[in-house]
Amino acid sequence: MNISVIDLCIMSFQGPVNAFLLHWTMESGSNVTVFILLGLSQNRNIEILCFVLFLFCYVAIWIGNLLIMISITFSLLVDQPMYFFLNYLSLSDLCYTSTVMPKLMTDLLAERKTISCNNCMAQLFILHFLGGIEIFILTGMAYDRYVAICKPLHYTIIMNRQRCNTIIVACCTGGFLHSASQFLLTIFLPFCGPNEIDHYFCDVYPLLKLACTDTSRIGLLVIVNSGLIALVTFVILMVSYFLILHTIRAFPAESRAKALSTCSSHITVVVLFFGPALFIYIRPATTFPEDKVLALFYTIIAPMFNPLIYTLRNMEMKTALRKVWCQKAFLIGRQII
Answer whether 336's CB lies under 8 Å from 96's CB.
no
pLDDT at 315: 66
Burial class (CB in 10 A: 0-12, 13-18, 19+), 258: middle
CA–CA separation, 113 vs 292, rounded Å?
Answer: 16
Name the residue among 214, 215, 212 with its Cα closest to residue 223. Answer: 215
> Which CATH code of 3.30.230.10, 1.20.1070.10, 3.40.630.40, 1.10.10.10 fits the domain covering 42-335?
1.20.1070.10
Secondary structure in 3-state letters for 65-104:
HHHHHHHHHCCHHHHCHHHHHHHHHHHHHHHHHHCCHHHH
pLDDT at 6: 45
* Dihedrals phi, psi of 198, to nearest 5 degrees: -80, 65
Burial class (CB in 10 A: 0-12, 13-18, 19+), 62: middle
Residue 39: left if φ>0, alpha if ψ -120 to 50, beta else—which one? left
CA–CA separation, 239 vs 234, rounded Å?
Answer: 9
Segment 83-94, tens digit of pLDDT? 899 899 999 999
Which residues of the chain are under the pLDDT cut of 70? Answer: 1-31, 285, 312-318, 320-337
Segment 60-109, tens digit of pLDDT? 999 989 988 888 888 778 888 888 998 999 999 999 999 999 999 999 98
pLDDT at 124: 92
Residues in Cβ contact with 318 at an 8 Å cutoff, skipping those fewer than 6 apart: 311, 312
pLDDT at 59: 94
Name the residue among 27, 22, 226, 188 with its Cα closest to residue 116. Answer: 22
Helix (H, G, I), strand (E, B) or coil at 187: helix
pLDDT at 14: 46
pLDDT at 317: 65
* Dihedrals phi, psi of 192, to nearest 5 degrees: -110, -5
* Dihedrals phi, psi of 37, to nearest 5 degrees: -90, 125
Following CA atoms 153, 157, 160, 164 in sequence, which dihedral angle do they give, to the nearest 10 degrees? -80
CA–CA separation, 103 vs 113, rounded Å?
Answer: 9
Does pTM top 0.85 for this prediction?
no
Residues in Cβ contact with 290 at an 8 Å cutoff, skipping those fewer than 6 apart: none
> What residue spans define the domains of the chain?
42-335
